[in-house]
Amino acid sequence: MDSELSLAESNLVEIEIPSRVDMVAVVRMIVAAATNAVDAIHGDRLDDLRWVTSEATTNAIEANLQHADDGRVQVRCEVAEGCVKLAVSDQGPGMPAVAAVANFADHRPLSAGSLGIPLMKHFSSAWSYHSGLGGTTVQMELHQ
């Protein structure tokens, strides 16, 4: 497999993957396993984490594939009792500001299949992003 994984004593997992859709399931599995290892969150919140991990990773892969080179996706997951912090970064062309402020309550996708950002915001206890010419990083926290 063409990915890198490290687990530090601080319950931190960092993954770097190629921009391939088949890698989304791998990222989901690793993030869920790291979360289960310390019982950070469980039940419905673990399902929410799986959802936001898939959405953020898929969006990052798609952003990279829109760019001239396919780039790599970086995923950082920090787990502690009752909390998971997730950051997903791409090297794509950057996210338009309107996409980041989309509100799930509006129930209006910005384009076909683009409810991912509003849903990530909805399921997260805290959500932020930084976007520019060098790519985008989406950060989320999920609390039990």
State the Cα–Cα distance between residues 50 and 43, nearest whole angstrom: 11
State the Cα–Cα distance between residues 73 and 63, nearest whole angstrom: 10
Q: What is the pLDDT of residue 137?
A: 94
Say if residue 126's pLDDT is above 60.
yes
* Contact predicate 28/50, CB 8 Å: yes
Containing structural domain, residue 37: 4-143
Say if residue 68's pLDDT is above 70.
no
Say if residue 131's pLDDT is above 90.
no
Query: Could you report the per-residue pLDDT of 30-54, keeping only the tens digit for each?
Result: 999 999 998 899 999 999 999 999 9
Residue 112: which CATH number? 3.30.565.10
Q: Tally the residues of the chain.
A: 144
Q: What is the pLDDT of residue 35?
A: 94
Say if residue 17's pLDDT is above 80.
yes
State the Cα–Cα distance between residues 133 and 120, nearest whole angstrom: 22
Mind spelling out the 3-state secondary structure of 106-131? HCCCCCCCCCHHHHHHHHCCEEEEEE
Give how many domains the chain has, as a whole number: 1
| pLDDT tier, 119 (very low <50, low <70, confident <90, very high otherwise) | confident
β-bridge partners, 83: 80, 143
State the Cα–Cα distance between residues 36 and 30, nearest whole angstrom: 10
């791998």: which residue's tokens?
A: 26
Say if residue 104's pLDDT is above 50.
no
Say if residue 59's pLDDT is above 50.
yes
Tell me, yes or no, if the pTM score tops 0.85.
no
